[in-house]
């Protein structure tokens, strides 16, 4: 147990830790890596494939990392992961000097990013679970996301401003050097977050093999149904940022600065969505929030498809669609976190949250691999009336899927989506 005064100091540490960590994570969202990889001469199909690598390898790493986090210590493994995250940015920086071998350094950087990120992500919610009281979780996670996304927006705006004046390799590497510094500082803040629960004394629990521990987790009421739902909605929506980014590069003809600026609007939308999610989840309930976000996703995707028809500036349209998409993602993310925290069992806490994160990683990887391979097989251009590119066809595909999921999850749910004495899996 900790005192209320100590708890609030830890809250500030958690917020600072996430603010420092968002520097490296936001490079995928704000268009920096898209521009950096383009500067290094990579094709659109290669870029989409590279973006899928961290999620793809996360499928195989999260569960074993979480299993051993519950046994060896959550912070012990997480701090090792932070060193790998630092090394990943260093490798990405070196790629700018590597010439023909730059792709190898990028792959090494992404693999280190994947391993390090999963060593931390496998136990993050389990580490926070005893620190944050249940009655405060909705508001706390909403405020947490708002704060670190605000930092990310400022950082992304600075990147787009710098790229407006110069797109030289020195500029890209200077930004990466700043990110390395922030990652080093994050190690110091992470080490000060207390690990309130140490399960090493529970001998019977620690003698469980991985599959037995998983079966115990799967027995939690509504756990598997909710995770299946999370997998599907992630699969249908996760590839949109990279797909929309490639549309800006190949179809809209945006400059690197404009691409980064649209990436900043992705973060602005996330900020608004996380604030809004923190306000509505406790009032409306998870089911109603997900119902609204489904409709939101569908409308945003339709708006993205209609980019040729809008009478206003294409940049304004892209920025609005980016902000609207990430607003919906932000609200859904707070709702998911709220539900995941509620489903954490007494034992195997890291494993229970890592199973969910593994499914999310799998959905992201499959979604992005689908985009990458389709672009490679079909090519960018494909004449089909108003849908005259492979990007439009992929976006239409995801729009149809999100609409069908809404029908099956909320309008005509199968019996397996309902639980005894409950209205739904939510």
The H or E element spanning position 370 is helix 349-378
**Number of domains, the chain:** 1
Q: Is 426 within a domain?
A: no
Decide if 245 contacts 318 (C-beta within 8 A).
no
Query: How far apart are the C-alpha atoms of 184 and 23, rounded to whole Å?
Result: 11
For residue 268, tell me if it sits in a domain: yes
R_g (Cα) of the chain, nearest Å: 21
Which CATH number belongs to the domain containing residue 80 in this structure?
A: 1.20.1250.20
Closest CA to 23 of 113, 137, 115: 113
* H or E element, residue 170: helix 169-190
Identify the DSSP state of 157.
H
Return the SS3 of 254: coil
* Tens place of pLDDT per residue across the chain (426 aa): 667 777 778 888 888 888 888 888 888 877 788 888 888 888 877 887 888 788 777 777 777 887 777 677 778 888 888 899 999 999 999 998 888 888 999 999 999 998 888 888 777 777 877 787 767 766 777 678 778 878 888 888 888 788 877 778 888 889 999 999 998 898 888 888 887 765 444 444 555 666 666 666 666 667 777 788 888 888 888 888 888 888 888 888 888 778 878 877 887 887 788 778 777 776 777 778 888 888 888 998 988 888 888 888 888 888 888 889 989 888 888 777 777 766 666 666 666 777 777 888 788 888 888 888 888 776 655 444 455 678 888 888 889 888 888 887 666 665 544 433 344 444
The model's pTM is 0.66
Beta-carbon-side half-sphere exposure of residue 47 (alpha carbons within 13 Å)? 25
In a domain? residue 270: yes
State residue 386 phi and psi, 5-degree precision.
-70, -25
- Residue 339 within a domain: yes
Q: What are the residues facing 389 on neighbouring strands?
A: 381
Assigned domain for 78 exists = yes
For residue 18, the cross-strand partners are none
Structural domain boundaries, residue 324 = 4-195+209-417
Neighbours of 35 (CB within 10 A): 24
Cα dihedral sign for 245, 247, 250, 254?
A: negative
Inter-CA distances, 196 with 2, 62, 374, Å: 8, 22, 47
* 204 within a domain of the structure (yes/no): no
CA 32 remoteness from chain centre? 16
Tokens of 321: 């669609």
391's tokens? 């990007």
Residue 106 within any structural domain of the chain = yes
Helices (H), 40-136: 44-72, 74-95, 102-121, 124-128
Assess if residue 157 is contained within a domain: yes
């Amino acid at each position: 147990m900790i005192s209320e005064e100590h708890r609030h100091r830890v809250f500030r540490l958690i917020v600072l830790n996430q603010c420092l960590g968002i520097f490296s994570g936001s490079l995928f969202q704000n268009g920096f890596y898209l521009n950096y990889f383009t500067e290094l001469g990579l094709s659109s199909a290669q870029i989409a494939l590279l973006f899928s690598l961290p999620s793809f390898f996360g499928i195989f790493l999260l569960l074993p990392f979480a299993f051993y986090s519950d046994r060896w210590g959550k912070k012990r493994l997480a701090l090792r992961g932070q060193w790998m995250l630092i090394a990943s940015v260093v490798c990405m920086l070196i790629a700018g000097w590597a010439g023909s071998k730059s792709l190898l350094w990028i792959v090494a950087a992404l693999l280190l990013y994947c391993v390090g990120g999963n060593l931390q992500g496998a136990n993050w919610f389990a580490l926070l679970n005893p620190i944050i009281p249940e009655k405060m979780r909705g508001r706390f996670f909403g405020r947490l996301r708002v704060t670190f996304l605000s930092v990310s927006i400022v950082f992304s705006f600075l990147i787009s401003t710098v790229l407006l004046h110069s797109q030289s390799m020195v500029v890209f590497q200077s930004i990466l050097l700043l990110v390395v510094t922030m990652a080093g500082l994050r190690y110091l803040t992470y080490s000060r977050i207390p690990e309130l629960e140490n399960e090493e004394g529970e001998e019977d629990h620690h003698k469980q093999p991985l599959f037995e521990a998983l079966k115990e987790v799967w027995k939690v009421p509504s756990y598997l149904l909710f995770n299946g739902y999370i997998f599907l909605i992630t699969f249908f929506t996760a590839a949109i940022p990279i797909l929309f980014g490639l549309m800006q590069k190949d179809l809209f003809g945006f400059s690197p600065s404009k691409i980064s600026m649209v990436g900043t609007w992705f973060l602005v939308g996330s900020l608004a969505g996380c604030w809004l999610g923190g306000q509505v989840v406790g009032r409306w309930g998870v089911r109603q929030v997900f119902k609204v976000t489904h409709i939101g996703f569908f409308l945003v995707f339709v708006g993205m498809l209609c980019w040729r028809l809008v009478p206003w500036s294409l940049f304004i349209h892209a920025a609005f669609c980016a902000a609207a998409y990430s607003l919906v993602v932000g609200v859904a993310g707070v709702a998911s976190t709220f539900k995941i925290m509620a489903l954490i069992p007494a034992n195997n806490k890291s494993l229970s949250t890592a199973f969910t994160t593994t499914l999310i990683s799998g959905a992201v990887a499959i979604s992005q691999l689908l985009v990458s391979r389709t672009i490679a097989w079909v090519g960018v251009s494909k004449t089909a009336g108003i849908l005259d590119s492979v990007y439009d066809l992929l976006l239409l595909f995801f729009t149809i899927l999100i609409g069908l999921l809404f029908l099956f999850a909320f309008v005509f749910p199968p019996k397996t989506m309902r639980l005894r004495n409950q209205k739904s899996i939510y």
